[in-house]
Chains A and B, each alone.
Chain A
Amino acid sequence: MRNPQLNEKGDLQHLLNVEGLPREHLVRILDTAASFVGVTERDVKKVPLLRGKSVFNLFFEPSTRTRTTFEIAAKRLSADVINLNISTSSQSKGETLLDTIDNLAAMHADMFVVRHAASGAAHLIARHVAPHHHVINAGDGRHAHPTQGLLDAYTIRHYKSDFSRLSVAIVGDILHSRVARSLIHALNILGTPDVRVIAPQTLLPTGVAQLGVRVFHNMNEGLRDVDVVVMLRLQNERMKGPLLPSAQEFFKCYGLTAEKLALAKPDAIVMHPGPMNRGVEIDSSVADGGQAVILPQVTFGIAVRMAVMSILGGGS
């Protein structure tokens, strides 16, 4: 079966997940993003690539940072951006997802940026739309958040350059995290030899080791000599039933403090996809400290999303 993200010529038509993305496409996105970082530092922060195109931001789930950075990215490519807050529109009146898409396509949408609580929503739309439409998955349930995984990979490459020597630890709520899944796939595709997950058993998906990671339940063991620490947010809104005794207890065992960070390499970087819960998964002294690259991640996220949109939006 053909990769649903590629067209018959092997070009990227949709970005749905990092898993299964050929390495050359992934590297091309990161390389292109590096050029867009330069654009965002100029007086005029726009390029004309998507002039005349319409990008529809379809957020079926609330999001501020991701929606805003997609909007900025599209505007910097000179696209027209239409934001739809679906929870207050037709879907609440009973329209199906694909009927919504058909209506927007009739309004001459070129690109759909989709966030949905259901895993696979973006795939469903991608299979449904005509070949000149493009779909970007901006997070689907617990499944994938490819642009976040790519911007995390971009950030790691920016500070550490060579993936083939890196140890990366991903800490916290792996179970509910589409960010973790997308990043693990990206790190594997880029040839990272040592990817670790550190979490209590209740916050790990079954079969997590099959993703090609080493599993730790103890921060003191898992953080030793790593180059990169990726902290994840506790996703209380997705938790069904008690998986943890309390937030305080979680912080005591899995919160990143300066003492625990000292176990990593001295030049290790600390990342977080946001929004952060200070005092739950990360201590303020680390979040605001010299090793944190959490705000550069946000800036790079715009360039990575510009890269993805400009690669998808061009003819071939």
Chain B
Amino acid sequence: MSVTLPDAEKVYTDLLARLKPAVTGETVMVGIQTGGAWVAERLHRDLGIAAPLGTLNISFYRDDYSSSGLHSNVRPSQIPFDVNGKRMLLVDDVLYTGRTVRGAMNELFDYGRPDTIDLVVLVDRGERQLPICAQFVGATVTVPKGAKLDLRRDDSGRLSLHLEEK
């Protein structure tokens, strides 16, 4: 099956436009490492969010630890604000099974109790295994079941989508 992937930069621009009306002075943002954190860095800057950007590494919350072990290259999560009572935008690059988002929410609640969490994703590829949906989606894509859809960032900061078929 041949798949045409959308231009990630164009998708980003659409996502940014959709988010603008939803952002207030109270909004805080957290990106999931690593791809989600790249998207979040850009959104955080382009939306002019006042509170510093948070990043999450969900390795300690993954549900496949007992079968796959601890993922290497664990970089620390950093939440540089009090999450209690905040209206939060949680950002990831690709929404797939929903397991990463579940892990991220479990971790966030170990920092406190946010008022709301809205999920922001650059692309939604479907194939959910958990009852999770995104409130803000840049684009919906259809890719072969089980294929690996990756976001990459080049030296100039330009984002692009890549597909690895199994």
Contacts and interface: CB of A to CB of B under 8 A. Distances in A.
Contacts of B66: 314-315
A217 B57 CA distance: 48
Contacts of B48: none
Interface of B: 57, 59-61, 65-70, 72-78, 106-107, 109-112
A220 interface: no
Given A32-B70, A37-B76, A315-B66, 15 more contacts: A31-B74, A34-B76, A35-B57, A35-B74, A38-B78, A42-B110, A43-B110, A46-B110, A47-B60, A48-B60, A49-B70, A315-B67, A315-B69, A316-B68, A316-B69
Contacts of A316: 68-69
Contacts of A47: 60-61, 107, 110
Contacts of B74: 31-32, 35
A28 B72 contact: yes
A38 B74 CA distance: 12
A157 to B, nearest CB: 15
Q: Interface residues of B: mostly helix, strand, loop or mixed? A: loop
Contacts of A234: none
Interface in A290-316: 310-311, 314-316
A99 interface: no
Contacts of A34: 76
A106 interface: no
A44 interface: yes
A38 B110 CA distance: 12
Interface string A13-45: 000000000000000100110110111001110
A43 B68 contact: no
A125 B109 CA distance: 39
Nearest to B60: A47
Give the interface centre of B59, B60, B65, B72 by most chain A CB atoms within 10 Å. Answer: B60
A162 interface: no
Given A311-B69, A314-B65, A315-B69, A35 B106 contact: no
B127 to A, nearest CB: 23
A42 B69 CA distance: 24
B62 to A, nearest CB: 9
Interface residues of A, number: 21
Interface string A41-67: 011101111000000000000000000
A39 B65 contact: no
A11 interface: yes
A44 B77 CA distance: 14
A44 B67 CA distance: 25
B10 to A, nearest CB: 35
Interface in A58-113: none
A46 B111 CA distance: 11
The 3 closest A-B pairs by CB, nearest first: A314-B69, A44-B110, A47-B60
Contact of B60 (A11, A31, A35, A43): A35
B70 A310 contact: yes
A24 to B, nearest CB: 9
Given A35-B59, A35-B76, A38-B77, A43 B112 contact: yes
A49 B69 contact: no
Contact of B61 (A11, A48, A315): A48
Contacts of A28: 72
A43 B69 contact: no
A42 B106 CA distance: 14
Nearest to A37: B76
B65 A49 contact: yes
Nearest to A77: B60
Contact of A44 (B70, B73, B111): B111
A310 B76 CA distance: 15
A166 B10 CA distance: 49
28 contacts: A11-B69, A28-B72, A31-B73, A31-B74, A32-B70, A34-B76, A35-B57, A35-B60, A37-B76, A38-B77, A38-B78, A39-B60, A43-B112, A44-B109, A44-B111, A47-B60, A47-B107, A47-B110, A48-B60, A48-B61, A49-B60, A49-B65, A49-B70, A310-B60, A311-B70, A314-B65, A314-B68, A316-B69
A138 B119 CA distance: 44
B37 to A, nearest CB: 15
Give the interface centre of B65, B70, B76, B77 by most chain A CB atoms within 10 Å. Answer: B70
Contacts of B111: 42-44
A35 B107 CA distance: 13
